[in-house]
Amino acid sequence: MAESVIIYPKQDKLLDASVKQKAYSFLEKLAQDDSTPGLHVEPIANAADPRARSGRVDQQYRALLFKLTTATSTAYVVHGIYNHDDAYKMAAKVQLTINPINGLPEYNEVDAPERALTWAQPAVEALSAAPEPLIAFSAEDLTVSLGIPPATAEQAVALTSKDAMNTFASTLPEWQGLALLLADGEPITQIQQELELMNQPMSPQEAAGKFVEPEPVSDQELLDSFDQPSAQMGFAKLAGAEELRRVITGGDFSAWRVFLHPQQRRWVRGDWRGPYRIAGGAGTGKTVVLVHRARRLATDDPDASVVVTTFTTNLAAELSRSLERLDPGLEFSDELGGPGLHVKGIDALARAVVQSAGADISEAVAAVLGVGRTDISGRTDADAAWRQAVLRAGEGLDEKLRKSAFLKAEYEMVILPHRITQLPDYLKVARTGRGVRLSRSGRKAVWAVIEAYRGAAREAGTLDFSEAAAVAAAHLETSGERPARHVLVDEGQDFKPSHWQLVRALAPEAPNDIFIAEDAHQRIYGQRLVLSAYGIRTQGRSRAMRLNYRTTAQNLAWAVGVLTGQEVIDSDGEAESMAGYHSARTGPRPIVRSLPTLTTELDHAAKLIDSWSNTDGVQAETVAVLVRDRMTRDRVVAGLGERGVTIRALEAGSVKPGYPVALTMHRAKGTEFTRVLLFGLNQDSIPMGLKAYDYDGTELSEAQLRERSLLYVAASRARDELVVTYSGEPSELLPPSE
Ligand SMILES: Nc1ncnc2c1ncn2[C@@H]1O[C@H](COP(=O)(O)OP(=O)(O)OP(=O)(O)O)[C@@H](O)[C@H]1O
């Protein structure tokens, strides 16, 4: 017996966790041989659609399937797994059909309101004081241009609040929900493009008629309709048992593996003449796109070296794991320049370039730091070294400039990227983007401290991270080596100028050379900068992602509230807006709770974490407590332990199954959890460190924004539920409660 194709719905919410395993083994057998005894795949008497079949999952559960038979294959479209009686009730009313406007596969309920619908004039004229509808189009536009069924379109255009729209959208098939969310703000043609919706031109009357009496379609036409890019928002054709297992038993978290959205697919498959940049808020699928694109580039050209890099070692390890999960057959190369994928944090890449250069590195060190040397394997502790340098040589400096934060930023943003090695060059250089103006004597005084900093590092045989990247870039530039064909950067917003110089120098300028994913709102380490200053020109090749796939609309609104009113500049030098940033998922509103003392805050945390992790169907490791610093993290782990709740601190490595985790907000970057408690958001814990680091002027405002961004990162980790607590006075960064 030939194998069958299984077409599986993305929204398999009907599938209870306890049934998943049984559903998987049923479908696996069905895919191999649909006549296997025990599956009982049978036609259903009284079904609304002759293609409907029932299948026996276990004593209690039945699969409702639609069988498509063509000359060359058999496919089963899974509608859902239901209790025995529900499956038969459902079969009596559902038909599998093709949307008459856009050709997408969809279910039609035979007694749904469409049947009775005609295009009606509004019965009562709208009162002028009534709230404005959210969507500026008519119901007819939505139907004729996008294929939204008439009754759905009528309801959508009557909605006047974002909350109502989110709730409504979450009840619809995925593409319809997304189209309606986008319709709040975007022109119809853009929605058609983003969702790749084609439309058969026809009049509103003709369209309404076709929704009432769908035309008959063949099995072949139905099967082909699942191949449309936008069909894959709702359904996936599953190839092989492994894919089936991941999708069904892996749940939401790994579903993206097969369900790329049309726009994401374009970024994965697209070819561009030079660097390309995608920007987008937290959870818009940037990393998913990047990982798929890396796989695509590596498989299209197995001889090419594809470098995937990001800001920290932990994030790089997570990218490696995602790539392995996505495609266990991918080739990885341990060595920079070898064929296959090379995944490393940007500082580790710099180190690898420097090490492989051997004694030749001296020339690059001289170009960047003024004096050639090869004893550079140690790492400068930059904060301590700047303080020392100020003590040694800072007497000529104005009091306001004797701050390590200022000097470090001056060094990283101006001196290193311009490869300034002598005072006369520093006196001439344009200090674009630096807040503080410096007189000639001011520059001289700064330069004295720079020389002291460099002198101490020379004696110690060390480089700091930015120096190492600058040296690595200089080495590649002069040697002409270009170890990578493609470089993909995740979390680009945190890269420093010399990191970008290194990225530029890793690959020759050629089509598809550099691909960057970034979110300026999540800048928690870096300063703002403009990429073109480092030879990476993305103007005209930058796109924004607006749909959040992770977080519920309620959590997203709270997270965005943290940044309301802040101006955030992206790396094209443009203000980055959050307008049109939506989520198609809904859930409870975040809860903010004030507790009288730390002890009671810990009591509350223990109860909450215990109840979350013991909720049916919740895997304990998808529950997390996020805190501002390591000390609080350890206090939470100990405090919850004393209250009988085991929780693991997460530092390096990945989340292990079995227990909830506690982690710092910095460590939480790039992660996601179903339920998140933000703990200890007191006045004196976040923003943190602004006084200790003695910031001033531009450095102070950037540091304040970084703290806000950190809270935004933390809040946007929560897929479903978010609770925020503090004891004493609340942090000034918490958005005002409604
Ligand atoms: N096409 C999709 N369908 C369903 N889920 C998706 C899709 N694309 C991404 N996701 C899910 O959305 C979540 C966020 O994706 P991802 O981590 O790539 O976002 P991101 O933009 O990199 O987020 P952040 O900037 O916050 O790290 C993930 O759970 C991912 O599985």
10 Å CB burial of residue 646 (0-12, 13-18, 19+) is: middle
Give the residue, 687 or 56, on which the prediction is more confident.
Answer: 56
How many whole angstroms separate alpha carbon 438 and alpha carbon 238?
Answer: 63
Q: Of all protein residues, whose CA lies closest to atom 2 belonging to ligand 1?
A: 256
The rounded Å distance from CA 724 to ligand 1 centre is 23
pLDDT at 20 over 80: no
What mean pLDDT do residues 653-662 have? 88
43, amino acid identity: P
The rounded Å distance from CA 660 to ligand 1 centre is 21
How many whole angstroms separate alpha carbon 446 and alpha carbon 410?
Answer: 9
Other CB atoms within 10 Å distance of the CB of residue 588: 12
How many whole angstroms separate alpha carbon 199 and alpha carbon 210?
Answer: 14
Rg (CA), the chain: 29
Res 115: pLDDT: 38
pLDDT grade, residue 193 (50/70/90)? Answer: confident
User: Residue 178 contacts by C-beta under 8 Å, 6 or more apart in sequence?
Assistant: 169, 195, 233, 261, 547, 584
Q: Of all protein residues, whose CA lies closest to atom 4 belonging to ligand 1?
A: 256
The rounded Å distance from CA 283 to ligand 1 centre is 5
Q: Is the dihedral of CA 40, 41, 42, 48 positive or negative?
A: positive
The rounded Å distance from CA 12 to ligand 1 centre is 18
90, amino acid identity: M
Q: Is 282 in the pocket of ligand 1 (CB under 6 A)?
A: yes
10 Å CB burial of residue 551 (0-12, 13-18, 19+) is: buried
What mean pLDDT do residues 606-611 have? 96
The rounded Å distance from CA 289 to ligand 1 centre is 8
The reply, when asked if residue 20 is annotated as ligand binding, is no
Res 391: pLDDT: 94
Mutate to test the pocket of ligand 1, among 278, 322, 556, 672 (most ligand atoms within 8 A of CB): 672
The reply, when asked if residue 565 is annotated as ligand binding, is no
Which atom of ligand 1 lies closest to the CA of 713?
26
Q: Are 204 and 143 in contact (CB under 8 A)?
A: yes
User: Residue 195 contacts by C-beta under 8 Å, 6 or more apart in sequence?
Assistant: 175, 178, 179, 182, 230, 233, 261, 262, 263
Task: Read off φ and ψ for residue 293, nearest 5 degrees.
Answer: -65, -40
How many whole angstroms separate alpha carbon 661 and alpha carbon 399?
Answer: 44
The reply, when asked if residue 340 is annotated as ligand binding, is no
What mean pLDDT do residues 573-584 have? 77
Q: Are 304 and 268 in contact (CB under 8 A)?
A: no
CA dist 260 → 80, 289, 555, 624 (Å): 21, 8, 23, 27
Other CB atoms within 10 Å distance of the CB of residue 198: 12
Q: Of all protein residues, whose CA lies closest to atom 6 belonging to ligand 1?
A: 256
Task: Return the bridge partners of 378, or none.
Answer: 462
Q: Residue ranges of the alpha helices (H) in 228-381?
A: 240-250, 252-255, 262-269, 286-300, 313-326, 346-357, 361-369
Q: Is 230 in the pocket of ligand 1 (CB under 6 A)?
A: no
What mean pLDDT do residues 436-461 have? 94
17, amino acid identity: A
How many whole angstroms separate alpha carbon 66 and alpha carbon 517?
Answer: 40
Our measurement of the distance from residue 613's CA atom to the centroid of its chain's CA atoms, rounded to an integer in Å, reads 24
Q: Is 668 in the pocket of ligand 1 (CB under 6 A)?
A: no
Comparing C-alpha atoms, which of 537, 565, 639 is closest to residue 598?
Answer: 639
The DSSP annotation for 494-512 comes to G--HHHHHHHHHHS-S-TT
Which atom of ligand 1 lies closest to the CA of 717?
26
Which ipTM did the prediction report?
A: 0.98
Q: Is 106 in the pocket of ligand 1 (CB under 6 A)?
A: no
Three-class secondary structure of residue 341 per DSSP: strand
The rounded Å distance from CA 550 to ligand 1 centre is 6
Cis status, amide bond into 687, omega within 30 of 0? yes
Assigned token pair, 651: 């530092």
**Is the full-model pTM beyond 0.80?**
yes
Assigned token pair, 445: 């005084």
Give the residue, 128 or 456, on which the prediction is more confident.
Answer: 456
Residues 712-737 have pLDDT tens digits of 999 999 999 999 999 999 999 998 87
The rounded Å distance from CA 255 to ligand 1 centre is 10
Q: Is 8 in the pocket of ligand 1 (CB under 6 A)?
A: no
Assigned token pair, 402: 């004797």
Residues 108-166 have pLDDT tens digits of 887 655 433 343 333 334 444 557 778 888 999 999 999 999 989 999 999 988 878 88
Percentage helix, strand, coil, to 5, in the chain? 45, 15, 40
Task: Return the bridge partners of 663, or none.
Answer: 626
The reply, when asked if residue 280 is annotated as ligand binding, is yes
Res 116: pLDDT: 39
Mutate to test the pocket of ligand 1, among 293, 325, 518, 550 (most ligand atoms within 8 A of CB): 550
Q: Is 178 in the pocket of ligand 1 (CB under 6 A)?
A: no
Three-class secondary structure of residue 540 per DSSP: coil
Q: Are 50 and 43 in contact (CB under 8 A)?
A: yes
Q: Is the dihedral of CA 389, 390, 391, 395 positive or negative?
A: positive
Which atom of ligand 1 lies closest to the CA of 549?
12
Res 127: pLDDT: 43
The rounded Å distance from CA 113 to ligand 1 centre is 35
Q: Are 659 and 624 in contact (CB under 8 A)?
A: no
Res 237: pLDDT: 81
Mutate to test the pocket of ligand 1, among 12, 194, 256 (most ligand atoms within 8 A of CB): 256
pLDDT at 428 over 90: yes
Q: Output DSSP code: residue 730.
A: B
Res 639: pLDDT: 97
274, amino acid identity: G
User: Residue 549 contacts by C-beta under 8 Å, 6 or more apart in sequence?
Assistant: 256, 283, 284, 285, 288, 583, 584, 585
Three-class secondary structure of residue 283 per DSSP: coil
How many whole angstroms separate alpha carbon 532 and alpha carbon 530?
Answer: 6
Q: Of all protein residues, whose CA lies closest to atom 1 belonging to ligand 1?
A: 260
pLDDT at 407 over 60: yes
The reply, when asked if residue 189 is annotated as ligand binding, is no
10 Å CB burial of residue 649 (0-12, 13-18, 19+) is: middle
Give the residue, 577 or 384, on which the prediction is more confident.
Answer: 384
Q: Is 53 in the pocket of ligand 1 (CB under 6 A)?
A: no
Three-class secondary structure of residue 401 per DSSP: helix
What mean pLDDT do residues 335-364 have? 95
Res 254: pLDDT: 58
Mutate to test the pocket of ligand 1, among 257, 288, 543, 568 (most ligand atoms within 8 A of CB): 288
Q: Is 490 in the pocket of ligand 1 (CB under 6 A)?
A: no
Our measurement of the distance from residue 379's CA atom to the centroid of its chain's CA atoms, rounded to an integer in Å, reads 32
Q: Is 583 in the pocket of ligand 1 (CB under 6 A)?
A: no
Q: Of all protein residues, whose CA lies closest to atom 14 belonging to ligand 1?
A: 283
